[in-house]
Structure 1
Amino acid sequence: MPHPPRLASLVASNSDILAALGAAPWIVAVDNHSDAPGLESAVRVGPDLDIDVAVLAATRPDLVLASLSVPGQERVVQGVQDAGLGVLILDPVSVQDTLADIRSIGHAIGLSRQGEDVARALDAELDALHTTFPVPPRVLVEWWPRPIIAATRDSWVTDLLARLGAVNALADRAGRSSPLTLAEVWAARPDLIVCSWCGAKKLRPEVIEARGLGVPVVAIHESGLGRPGPRLLDGARQLHAALRASVPT
């Protein structure tokens, strides 16, 4: 692979990782949702689930970074592979997976030391946010309001909450996310609900409050919780503050 490599990122979490590694100038193609700094010269190739493979191929990337953390990207990956492009496919379900992905991307693009530094710093900063509560608070992270969709057991959210001293209120429910009825939300007994709607132009925690559950609600942009990458620290800090404000220690 020539150095610096020509890179393409199909999801925002990978773009955030590349930017944290200092590799944003190497990105020649990127999905429409990515908002990491330094992407001004990259060609936009469409939303993460509707990538224009022909436009992507025309940028001649040496390596395409995809992630199955975006449900449905398997179809996009197949199209990229069919076009003969080299693809690094990530599939994180935990914070440890995310740290490993940062290291893997760093290694793949010749920035192993930077990958190690970024992963270690993220790990340490998450450790510093841990709080010991008398009873670990139960947190429900909502990805979408109608139907209600929330993070379940096999989401990095479960691990992230554990790092903070809390638990995912849906940790006993299989899968990465699940649609829920209001009764199921009630049965999960959350102490805190997080409004982190993916793709929403505006977060409206008042919509969740209006359901009448009597549970504190905090709004955290999906970039802080929905992207398994360095910006999980942003979400973790906001969660830490919300937990400290709403749950007795």
Structure 2
Amino acid sequence: MPDAHALNATLRGVLRLASLTSSNSDILAALGAAHQIVAADSHSDAPGLEGALRLGPDLNIDVAALREARPDLVLASLSVPGMEKVVQAVQDAGLNTLVLDPVTVEGTLDDIRKIARATGLEARGEALIQDFRAELARLRRDVPRPPRVLVEWWPRPIIAATRESWVTELLAALGARNALEDLEGRSRPLTLEQVRAARPDLIVCSWCGAKKLRPEVIEARGLGVPVVAIAESGLGRPGPRLLEGARALRVALDGLSLA
């Protein structure tokens, strides 16, 4: 829920928003509030941010510039590793913040609800959540043996999504399994032998922050496992664009031939 500062801002007129992560910018855009974003990190690419002041990369936010933008509410997310220091600096600057930390798909949908409430867009938020649930249910693929999927966030060292990641729940909703669901944590570095031991039926190249995805790098490891590329915007951001990743995953899963 918004605090008194945000509520007073709402009464004065349009709430001035700042977003420090791409996932929150995506949520605001899906809620129809992109035009209220007065400042955003340089990675955010949601439509409607043309007039927003750019604050630099999410882990190197220009807090002084953020303060000068006079936001009524700043949205941050600890889903970006290392974001804690940025959040502390923003709070030390006296800015009103809403800090999210989703781990699962359900947690992501709950964050959509929190942002919708904080911005006075509850009805839009509920509609967005219901549409998300309905499409994800339509994408489910039931097979005798759920395929094991490994989602790779970075190639050197190999870093992939483990149990406490929205990837695990997203794959389960599609009728698949996270090949690393037995490993605790949100993600972790892996050796090539650990990747092999996970016995993936499919490896997804979804490198975070990479200008170009190169699935051929993964194929060159000689594991003999099919590799597909899915943009980080579809799998690495806990927000409505996870549906983009789910659609791409469904296509990839349909193309598998399992023994």
TM-score interval (norm. to shorter):
over 0.9
Work out whether residues 99 and 123 of structure 1, in 8 Å CA contact, stay in contact via their aligned partners in 2. Answer: no
Quote the residue 1:237 is aligned against: 247
1:34-81, Cα deviation, whole Å (9 max, x unpaired): 000000000000100010100001000000000000011000000000
Work out whether residues 133 and 248 of structure 1, in 8 Å CA contact, stay in contact via their aligned partners in 2. Answer: no
TM-score by length of 1: 0.99
User: Aligned-pair RMSD on alpha carbons?
Assistant: 0.9
Quote the residue 2:147 is aligned against: 137
CA distance in 2, matches of 1:4, 1:128: 36
Asked if 1:203 corresponds to 2:213, the answer is: yes
Secondary structure of the equivalent of 2:108? helix
Write the mapping of 1:115-194 to structure 2, written as runs, cut at 5 A. 115-194=125-204
1:84-127, Cα deviation, whole Å (9 max, x unpaired): 00110101000100111111100000000001111110111111
Partner residue of 1:95 out of 80, 96, 105: 105
CA distance in 2, matches of 1:174, 1:185: 15
Secondary structure of the equivalent of 1:246? coil
Secondary structure of the equivalent of 1:64? strand
Quote the residue 1:60 is aligned against: 70
| Structure 1: 5+ residue stretches without partners | none
Secondary structure of the equivalent of 2:48? coil
Q: CA deviation at 1:247?
A: 3.8
CA distance in 2, matches of 1:81, 1:208: 41
Q: CA deviation at 1:248?
A: 4.5
Moved over 3 A (4+): none
Secondary structure of the equivalent of 1:126? helix
Secondary structure of the equivalent of 1:179? strand
CA distance in 1, matches of 2:28, 2:129: 12
CA distance change for structure 1 residues 247 and 232 in 2, over 3 Å: closer, same or farther? farther
Equivalent position amino acid for 2:178 in 1? N
1:116-150, Cα deviation, whole Å (9 max, x unpaired): 11111011111110011110100000000000000
* Aligned residues between the structures: 249
Quote the residue 1:34 is aligned against: 44
| Structure 2: 5+ residue stretches without partners | 1-8
CA distance in 2, matches of 1:104, 1:192: 34
CA distance in 2, matches of 1:4, 1:102: 19
Quote the residue 2:17 is aligned against: 7
